[in-house]
Structure 1
């Protein structure tokens, strides 16, 4: 059944999945109702909703053009902040802090956003202008007000999306952003235990991480991962040096001391006393398992990291990490 862009039957529905049918991008919609995005990750909220018989059994599907046209009728709430990161460095905690305030819609690594950002790799005729238009439409549909207190949207991007930071700035001009990073040895230790998708050769286009396709088979997993991390950190550093609007570098070691104040300052949150309590409570919890208290795992990672992972981190990532730190500390000294 074809639905018009302003069809009220799409109210309460979100673009849950984007896929390509032949050469045509299509949108699968899921009924979200009044459920908020409070889980650590977007897909967890979606999975919870799909356990409901109605959301599981009833679906809508439209073209991507319908989604774009719908934005004109229902533009959604404004995007108020972007969170970039090098992975395994505390970005989920930042997302949970922002999501602890009921007035925020926090899209944490939303798969429809990732699909839009990577559509040009599947459909070579797709231009940056089209990706920007589609990105705005997807975020507008995900950022519809479903509760009266909601007033803005925050995007916590996937780690590799920092490579698209200039395009995201064009899509959401003037929106404050931050890049979160951590000592590369500790990040490598985390991926050593359970590798993220972007740390596996072939998931990202080799050219995006400064490699030739023929090089992939020559690299160990540790060297490949370290070179990916270096590329992500370099992208964050270059964007920060070229910034024209509000932006901030944030080290994992700052999270327990000043994560809340950093977010309040950069994004202009102005929390009420009640909201300040919600932020403090969220900061004290484990971001990925909120029933547990936060525990600093720095010593554990230093103890368990392999010699190979440590060597690759020092060889490929340490220099850009030190540059990030120098930039951050220099700006902090300037006040």
Structure 2
């Protein structure tokens, strides 16, 4: 690694071993990242014979060294979200554009944001990570958009310290619909103890998933609301999608008329499962909600949701 020839390589995991931080790299070459999640792209890349034969691991400091030697694009936008609310649709629409690099929920970013590294070291590592993701591997890339995990709304102030000029938005949805989605198929952050400490924890006892999930959805919405008000974030309601990509989201992402017409190629597809046709399910979810779930959502999540709606046009 002395020559730091990392062209075509991207960080796929970051971890601490015997007190030392390490980076695992995977070779992508000029392959576009068009999958719904970065993890999907990693799975595809790891099937390549080259990656089955060769792996690269480096100290964390290499991220900063590589940034200085070969700086990539700085992030143009961050997408935060309340989960199951249309953020993947936005990222998949942008992924239709050759000039855009779209990184969706990369595990190394979450690891660094929630690590115990001192703040100065963490900022250096985060900037190096973004620079690595922002490499012009195909030669035509002009913009880098990063979608974070839902719980990373708690780390937004830290990310803002490292990237104070990068605009960000918070996508949200009716909390009853989010809660039903997680009752059907819980995300990692809706399973007690699965992802470690986050801003979603309230330390209170709970009586089953219909109590636990609405409380965490409420904390997601409340944290998003606080940060939108304090840190100039754009609040985007699920009901605005996808049409907002021809209006205020087109302006937010810097899309011209030709580009926002192109992004609509993804609209007919299910964002998380591109092989399937998208079918709206809001009414089905609302009918499915039990009386208990409705009461818990009203208690824990409705107020921040209504406040967020007042921030949207």
Shorter chain as denominator, the TM-score bin is over 0.9
Higher helix share: 1
Number of matched pairs: 313
2:12, 2:68 → 1: CA distance? 20
1:176 to 167, 177, 182: 167
Matched, 1:45 2:41: yes
Following the alignment from structure 2 to structure 1, what is the Cα–Cα distance between the partners of residues 240 and 246?
10
Question: 2:4 aligns to what?
Answer: 7
Partners in 2 of 1:230 and 1:291 — Cα distance?
A: 32
Describe the superposition over 1:105-138 as per-residue Cα deviations: whole angstroms up to 9, x where unpaired.
1000011111111212xxxxx2222222211111
Q: 1:226 aligns with which of 203, 214, 228?
A: 214
Secondary structure of the residue that 1:153 maps to in structure 2?
strand
Structure 2 distance, partners of 1:210, 1:191, is 16
Instruction: Report the alpha carbon displacement of residue 210 of structure 1 after superposing the two structures with TM.
Output: 4.8
Contact 1:260 1:279 in 2 (8 A): no
Secondary structure (helix, strand or coil) at the match of 2:199 reads: helix
- 1:66-122 CA-partner distances (Å, limit 9, x unpaired): 1221111111112110100000001100100111111011000011111111212xx
SS in 2 for 1:208: coil
With over 3 angstroms needed to count, the CA separation of the structure-2 counterparts of 1:277 and 1:292, relative to structure 1, is farther
Instruction: Mark the CA change 1:293 to 1:277 in structure 2 (over 3 Å): closer, same or farther.
Output: farther
Distance (whole Å) between structure 1 residues aligned to residue 287 and residue 242 of structure 2: 21
Secondary structure at the aligned position of 2:92 is classed as: helix
Structure 1 unaligned segments of length 5 or more: list them: 121-125
Shift of 1:264: 1.0
Q: What is aligned with 2:230? A: 242
8 Å Cα contact 2:13-2:23 kept in structure 1: yes
Paired with 1:305 and 1:25, the residues of 2 have a C-alpha distance of 44
Which structure 2 residues correspond to residues 8-27 of structure 1 after superposition, within 5 A?
8=5, 10-27=6-23
1:274-294 Cα deviation digits (max 9, x unpaired): x33321212232211223333
Over 6 Å off, 4+ runs: none
Q: Who is 2:57 aligned against?
A: 61
1:211 to 195, 202, 205: 202
Deviation at 1:256, TM superposition (A): 3.1
Q: Give the 3-state SS of the residue equivalent to 2:280 in structure 1.
A: coil
Contact 2:250 2:260 in 1 (8 A): no
In structure 2, the CA distance between the partners of 1:55 and 1:204, relative to structure 1 (3 Å rule), is closer
> Which deviates further from its counterpart, 283-292 or 95-104?
283-292
Change (3 A) 1:279 1:83: same
Question: Residue 152 of structure 1 aligns with which residue?
Answer: 143
- Cα deviation, residue 307, structure 1: 2.9
Q: TM-score, normalised by structure 2?
A: 0.95
| 1:70 alignment partner, SS class | helix
Structure 2: how far apart are the matches of 1:320 and 1:106?
A: 29
1:7-45 per-residue CA deviation (whole Å, 9 max, x = no partner) reads 22x211111111111211111111111111100000000
Tell me the SS of whatever aligns to 2:170.
strand
Tell me the secondary structure at the aligned position of residue 100 of structure 1. coil
Q: Please give the TM-score of this superposition, normalised by the length of structure 1.
A: 0.89
User: What root-mean-square deviation, in Å, do the aligned CA atoms of Structure 1 and Structure 2 show?
Assistant: 1.7
Give the Cα–Cα distance (whole angstroms) in 2 for the partners of residues 293 and 205 of structure 1.
35
Deviation at 1:297, TM superposition (A): 0.8
Q: How far 1:47 moved relative to its partner?
A: 0.2
